[in-house]
Structure 1
Amino acid sequence: MAYRPQIAVLVETSKTYGRGIIEGISQYVRSHRHWSIFINERGLDDPLPEWIEQRPTDGILLRTSNATVFDAVKKLKIPTVSLGEIYDPHFPIVHTNDRRLAILAAQEFLHRGYKTIGFAGIQGTTWSDIRYQAIVNFLDQSIFHSCCDPSNAEGGLLDWPTHQAELTKWLQEIPKPVGIIAAYDVIGVRVLDVCNELGIAVPAEVAVIGIDDDQYLCELANPPLSSVAHSLQEIGYRACSVLDQIMQGGAVPDEPILIEPQGVIARQSSDIFAIDDPLIAKAIQYIRDHACDGINVNDVLKRFPLTRATLTRRFEKYIGHSAKEEIMRLQMIRVKELLTETDFNLEKIAKLSGYNHVEHMSTIFKTKNAITPGKYRERSKTES
């Protein structure tokens, strides 16, 4: 039987980023069928596993935030490819293009008409600093406003109460409407939480884009967080290719291999164009918060001092359709979510989406989508 190289995968299994890379590693191994993989459940800061010195190891795929792990791996003198977090020139690096991630978020806000953009990052952390500097270099000085730095003395994220106080002060002072780029999704979720506490309309007054596209975090946020997605599987696959090349005596890349991100995954936290009309911004936020509670345009008019004609005209100006159409759009999004994500009957879905009668919901659904709710549910299950 042919010898199978023994590969240690020292990549965190606790986060979306690491799991995506591991999927790319799996794709490489399946397509080449000549490696034996050894992997443990790991966090980013975990120490070097004892077994790596107790068994033959031909190559290492390494991603860690623990500098002592890097030092220990160097001493092993085993072919190793670094997958980022710590940038060490001793090892070839395959990593996401941090500059491009940040620029894509900035371009998204410019496309949506924002004249003020801010950044929330962790000063002293290499990837956050690269993203921050890319934004500063890319944007005109009149557009980039400021950076909120939630780092502690050790270069980590501040505890939540302290960070919350800093974000509160920053978000109260920054001119609006503003687009906030968060260095990663956890900070983006925190920004949204403070906006909710302060009653700041999201995305009408403050729009937020994170980085990493951790789907569970993004969907849990209120409203769901837009984020820039990495090409994680490609990072893992490419790292394997580089390691394979090195183990076979090939050249070691002398420059980092940077993988281009997928792009911005838009969700509600940025799904709007910049609005410099505070009253309409509040009206849009009210609709987004209550569309599925059964409200109508009269409810909006009772809450805000606008005539129906003015409300319609300003909605058309800022979001391209009327307040009534915005309510219907959000209700329809909710219907589709419930059809695909639950087994609720149509009566319950109608009630949860703001419709008084299931027949009315079904009629509108078929008109908008050229398919009945039942058929839509069947099709979504087949496609998944």
Structure 2
Amino acid sequence: MTRQHSAQRTHRIALLFNANKVYDREIITGIGNYLLSTRVAWDLFLEEDFRARLNGIEHFEGDGFIADFDDPAVCEALSDSLLPVVAVGGSYEDAAAYPPNLPYIATDNMQLVSLAYKHLIGAGLQRFALYSLPESPTNRWAQERERAFNALLKADGLEGDVHRGLPTSAPVWHQASVQLTEWLQSLPKPVGIIAVTDARARQLLQACLISGIPVPEQVAIIGIDNDPLTRSLTRIPLSSVIQGTEEMGRTAAHLLHQMLGGARFAGRRILVPPVGINVCESTKHEPLASPYVMRARHYIRQYACQGIKTEQVADYVGVSRSSLEDYFRRELGCTVHQEILKHKLDVAKQLLAQQDMSSAEVAIRCGFTSLQYMYAVFRRELDCTPREYQERLHAAQSVPSAPSTPDAPSAQMP
């Protein structure tokens, strides 16, 4: 006999986020992953251009909200909502900064900054700075990261320099760039800098490249967000802390799902820790004695894949080729050409890991003179062909991991 199941009700849920930002997009991705892993039926409302327009939101004919409460306008718009609301945003030291009577899923700012700080210490750095954002009600999370940074350094008996800079806008862009460059030049070197976002970290990288400040030998930079768009806009790959944003989205959806069934979580606070760090060139700090080698590696990181030769590197540094070769052998135990080739190989490995690029395309992108030459380099250095390297990565990534249970989000509750 066939058992009849009653049709599950579809709930209409509004997601109030600015999904043009990677942080918000990944939270929404986490919400979507929760829906895919359960039998929850939700009709999701998002603005077509992914911005959170609030005009008339009080008339939304739905069943609940998941919203970005880092935006004071969102807090105000939903303050009197009769529908269930789950708030998402930054973590705050002051309990009064949280919305009253609502569950709140927060990224753990202290752990984000602590992870970045410990990474820079592990890279051998002893001086530290933070590039933040101007103080604003919409930037409370950035000011929390400043306080976390200062607390970490104070606990270690150190002092750090915090630069907030100017807002990112076309009218003040030149002035902001000049201020940032002057700040970078004023810092004692070498120094490790934590940027409160990847967007701010990209500005640091750009200012260093324009000013000729070697990254990471003189300035090591780590951002927060692990934004793939930012990585595509920088010549030097950016290290970044990976936030637990997808877990935040899954946790928020899980709570709202329960609230729609009658559960109450008024005042509940859940802190979600970072996932880890995507370590790239911008923090691979190796203390070097020779300023010529530092400048040469700075140039190689930017232009190795454009087919540069040893003579061009020597011209940039301002010494003869033979002198530069001597410096490289003493400092690194290799030739300038070998260092160029090593960087090309590292970039090729990163591109092959993307799975959607052919060996021929990789050879062109990395500046190898021919596909055959790239094959020869792979065989000599890695004992495999580019295709075999790609297949090994794909096989390793295909190994299934233990499934997580949606009923038990991995979060920390203060």
| TM-score category, normalised to shorter length | 0.7 to 0.9
Specify whether residues 232 and 48 from structure 1 end up closer, same or farther in structure 2 by C-alpha distance, changes over 3 A only: same
Bigger Cα displacement from structure 2, 168-177 vs 291-300 = 291-300
Partner AA of 1:314 in structure 2? E
- CA deviation after TM superposition for structure 1 residue 310, in Å: 4.3
Deviates more, 1:15-24 or 1:267-276: 267-276
Which of 315, 326, 337 lines up with 2:339 in the alignment?
326
Are 1:292 and 2:305 an aligned pair? yes
- Specify whether residues 301 and 198 from structure 1 end up closer, same or farther in structure 2 by C-alpha distance, changes over 3 A only: closer
Shift of 1:130: 1.3
Distance 1:250 1:164, change over 3 A: same
Quote how far apart the aligned CAs of 1:18 are: 1.5
Contact 2:107-2:271 at 8 Å conserved across structures: yes
| Residues 1:214 and 2:227 aligned together | yes
Say whether residues 1:35 and 2:46 are aligned partners: no
Length, aligned pairs only: 375
Contact in 1 for aligned 2:359/2:371 (Cα 8 Å): no
Residue 352 of structure 1 deviates from its aligned partner by 5.3
Aligned to 2:14: 8
Q: Report the CA distance shift for 1:135/1:322 in structure 2 as closer, same or farther (over 3 A).
A: farther
1:65-89 Cα distance to aligned partner (Å, 9 max, x none) = 5423322212222211111159532
Q: Aligned match of 1:166 in 179, 189, 211?
A: 179
Q: 1:74–1:328: structure 2 CA closer, same or farther, 3 Å change rule?
A: same
SS at match of 1:363: helix
Q: Which residue of 2 aligns with 1:132?
A: 146
Range that drifts further, 281-290 or 171-180: 281-290
How far did 1:280 drift? 2.7
> Is the 8 Å Cα contact of residues 201 and 285 (structure 1) preserved in structure 2?
yes
Gaps of 5+ in 2: 1-6, 92-96, 399-414
Match of 2:276 among 260, 263, 267: 263
Match of 1:80 in 2: 85
Superposed counterparts of 1:113-128, under 5 Å: 113-124=124-135, 125-128=139-142
Distance (Å, rounded) in 1 between the aligned partners of 2:312 and 2:51: 52
The answer to whether the aligner puts 1:252 opposite 2:265 as a matched pair is yes
Contact 1:60 1:81 in 2 (8 A): yes
Partners of 1:157 and 1:130 lie apart in 2 by 27
Q: Distance in 2 between matches of 1:362 and 1:234?
A: 40
Cα distance in 1, alignment partners of residues 128 and 195 from structure 2: 11
Query: What one-letter code is carried by the residue in structure 1 that aligns with 2:22?
Result: T
CA contact (8 A) 2:58 2:77 kept: no
Structure 1 residue 249: deviation in Å? Answer: 3.4
Identity of aligned pairs, percent?
Answer: 28
Taking the aligned partners of 1:344 and 1:187, their CA distance within structure 2 comes to 34
**Are residues 43 and 147 of structure 1, via their aligned partners in 2, closer, same or farther at CA, if it must alter by over 3 Å?**
farther
Residue in structure 1 matched with residue 332 of structure 2 by the alignment:
315
Structure 1 segments (4+ residues) deviating >6 Å: 42-45, 155-158, 378-384
Structure 1 unpaired stretches of 5+:
none
Q: Is the 8 A contact 1:338 1:344 kept in 2?
A: no
- 1:63 touches 1:83 (CA, 8 Å); kept in 2? yes
Compared CA separation, residues 341 and 30, structure 1 to 2 (3 A):
closer
AA of the residue aligned to 2:59: E
User: What are the within-5 Å matches in structure 2 for residues 1-384 of structure 1?
Assistant: 1-41=7-47, 46-48=52-54, 50=56, 53-55=59-61, 57-84=62-89, 87-90=97-100, 91-124=102-135, 125-139=139-153, 143-151=158-166, 159-252=172-265, 254-275=267-288, 277-294=290-307, 303-304=318-319, 306=323, 308-315=325-332, 323=336, 325-337=338-350, 342-343=357-358, 345=360, 350=363, 353-356=366-369, 358-376=371-389
Per-residue deviation, residues 220-278 of structure 1 (Å, max 9, x unmatched): 12312221111222111111122233333334153421111111112222233344643
Higher mean displacement: 368-377 or 218-227: 368-377
Q: CA RMSD in A?
A: 3.2
Cα offset for 1:168? 1.2
Deviates more, 1:289-298 or 1:246-255: 289-298
Whole-angstrom distance in 1 between the partners of 2:273 and 2:9: 34
Residues 130 and 163, structure 2, Cα contact 8 Å, conserved in 1 = yes
230-239 or 273-282, which deviates more? 273-282
1:311 Cα shift?
Answer: 2.6
What SS does structure 1 have at the residue aligned with 2:283? coil
For the 8 Å contact 1:6–1:36, the answer to whether it is kept is yes
CA contact (8 A) 1:9 1:60 kept: yes
Question: CA separation in 2, counterparts of 1:270 and 1:350?
Answer: 26
The alignment partner of 1:131 has SS state of: helix
Q: Which amino acid aligns with 2:173?
A: W
Cα distance in 2 for partners of 1:300, 1:202 equals 16
**Structure 1 residues 118-157: Cα deviation after superposition (integer angstroms, max 9, x where no partner):** 10101422111111111111125665431111245xx999
SS at match of 1:269: helix
Q: TM-score, normalised by structure 1?
A: 0.85
